A and B are shown apart, each in its own frame.
Chain A
């Protein structure tokens, strides 16, 4: 079971690029890396998922080096509404059991003016 390590919190100003790094030293060959965002009093929301190299969608980019022992979520030009907790998940549920995925404590991002 791949364990993940993230910074507990980060601060940023509006308009800046934010990079949140997640360490997962014992990631397995079949594991994917997924990031979720959670606002207070809401359930987590899917942001992005990747296996290797770089993945980009309309809200974020995910950078995964060749050894896959870490990954970086990049949020371009954050706004106040990006203030949330960001979770890095590493796992493979091809066997169908979600207990193999653990959320950890996440990174609390605070964006200010």
Chain B
């Protein structure tokens, strides 16, 4: 079964440092999503890409977070500077297209970020 690859699996960083997460979606999946999941809560959408273009980044804290998908394949999510409140699981998901009802999402295993 095809998987969404994410790395690193775990990351510990100090407050005010920069941190980056990488996601490789399932081959052929044009739509890519980054979610943040705080412990005990459900995932919340940060950004959605369609190919290399941002479709929705309305919930991305743009003062410190950035995301790119330069060639429309893999993607990087960056936080600079990291704050204690950024400690969370960062999940990447992909789908064939933006029509969730028809395609659904496939999630990766996530990157667990701890800011100290």
B100 in complex: contacting residue of A42, A43, A44, A93, CB < 8 Å: A93
Known: A41-B109, A41-B112, A42-B110. A96 touches B104 (CB 8 A): no
A50 → chain B closest CB, angstroms: 10
> In the complex the two chains form, what is the Cα distance from A97 to B21 in whole Å?
22
Q: Which of B12-20, B44-52, B64-72, B78-86 forms part of the interface with chain A?
A: B44-52
**Which residues on the A side are within 8 Å of B99 (C-beta)?**
93-94, 96
- Chain A contact residues: helix, strand, loop or mixed: loop
Q: Which of A20-28, A57-65, A72-80, A99-107 forms part of the interface with chain B?
A: A99-107
> In the complex the two chains form, what is the Cα distance from A44 to B106 in whole Å?
8
A45 at the interface (CB under 8 A from B): yes
Is B101 within 8 A of A94, CB to CB? yes
Is A96 within 8 A of B110, CB to CB? no
B93 at the interface (CB under 8 A from A): yes
**Which residues on the A side are within 8 Å of B73 (C-beta)?**
none
B90 → chain A closest CB, angstroms: 10
Known: A41-B110, A98-B48. A49 touches B98 (CB 8 A): no
When A and B form their complex, which 7 residue pairs have the shortest distance between CB atoms, in order from nearest?
A43-B107, A103-B42, A96-B98, A93-B100, A97-B56, A32-B101, A46-B104
Interface positions of B (Cβ within 8 A of A): 4, 33, 40-45, 48, 50, 55-56, 58-59, 89, 91-93, 98-101, 104-110, 112
15 more contacts with CB within 8 A, not counting A43-B108, A101-B45, are A32-B100, A32-B101, A41-B89, A41-B110, A43-B110, A44-B91, A93-B98, A96-B98, A97-B56, A98-B33, A98-B48, A99-B59, A102-B44, A105-B40, A106-B42
A-B contact pairs, 26 of them (CB 8 A): A34-B100, A41-B89, A41-B112, A42-B107, A42-B109, A43-B108, A43-B109, A44-B105, A44-B107, A46-B106, A49-B101, A87-B42, A93-B98, A93-B100, A96-B98, A97-B55, A97-B56, A98-B98, A99-B48, A99-B58, A101-B45, A101-B100, A102-B42, A103-B42, A103-B44, A106-B42
